[in-house]
A and B are shown apart, each in its own frame.
Chain A
Amino acid sequence: GAVVSQHPSWVICKSGTSVKIECRSLDFQATTMFWYRQFPKQSLMLMATSNEGSKATYEQGVEKDKFLINHASLTLSTLTVTSAHPEDSSFYICSATTGSSYEQYFGPGTRLTVT
């Protein structure tokens, strides 16, 4: 149980274009979903927290107009990287909680490369 999927698993895009990443909880309803970013040889950094039907809460230093988060249902959250630049190249990972515990279950991640 507690399986989280992400799509796509990897994406290459040109500078200036936008990319959408989907995060789905497959066998549970996720009260809260989180988006993290991991640069090479660094740890995960929380970008934002999203609850279904509410605006996402962004961490300090994360541009909310650049990283658009939509949490349209209890099983789906999307992250759109707008006007991507090479410095946005990273490993983007979502996680979700079931609401019955504090544990977060991570998706397999999306590797974004901006050329």
Chain B
Amino acid sequence: QKEVEQNSGPLSVPEGAIASLNCTYSDRVSQSFFWYRQYSGKSPELIMSIYSNGDKEDGRFTAQLNKASQYVSLLIRDSQPSDSATYLCAVGGSGGGADGLTFGKGTHLIIQP
């Protein structure tokens, strides 16, 4: 049984600060890793994807992957109130795009103005 673990929060961060979200996964053969943002009552929106060890930056977002530790993280710089949402960590299998995703339960992030 594949598992993806996240701290459910809520994680409260002041506006302008860095928000750090973490995720661990159980399946060592996982090849693809994603962060999705989900607002209440809406479907997930892709924020970042990462496939190899190290950091990947896109604007205010940085994803970090450490396959040896089975750990994925997301950093949000200069946090804005509009970043307040639930952030879902999702992990794909070894079959690439043919695999469905296993989601964590999500971390509820609150950016305090």
Contact = CB atoms under 8 A, between A and B. Distances in A.
Contacts of B42: 108-109
A109 B45 CA distance: 12
B97 A105 contact: no
Contacts of A98: 97
Contact of A102 (B44, B45, B97): B97
Interface of A: 31-32, 34, 36, 42-46, 49, 51, 59, 91, 93, 95, 97-99, 101-109
A43 B104 contact: yes
B104 A46 contact: no
A45 B101 CA distance: 8
Contacts, number: 62
B97 A106 contact: no
Interface residues of B, number: 25
B42 to A, nearest CB: 7
Contact of B43 (A42, A97, A106): A106
- Nearest 4 A/B pairs, CB to CB: A46-B100, A102-B32, A109-B43, A97-B97
B68 interface: no
Contacts of B51: 102
15 contacts: A32-B97, A34-B100, A43-B104, A44-B101, A46-B100, A46-B101, A51-B98, A93-B44, A95-B101, A98-B97, A102-B31, A102-B32, A102-B51, A105-B46, A109-B42
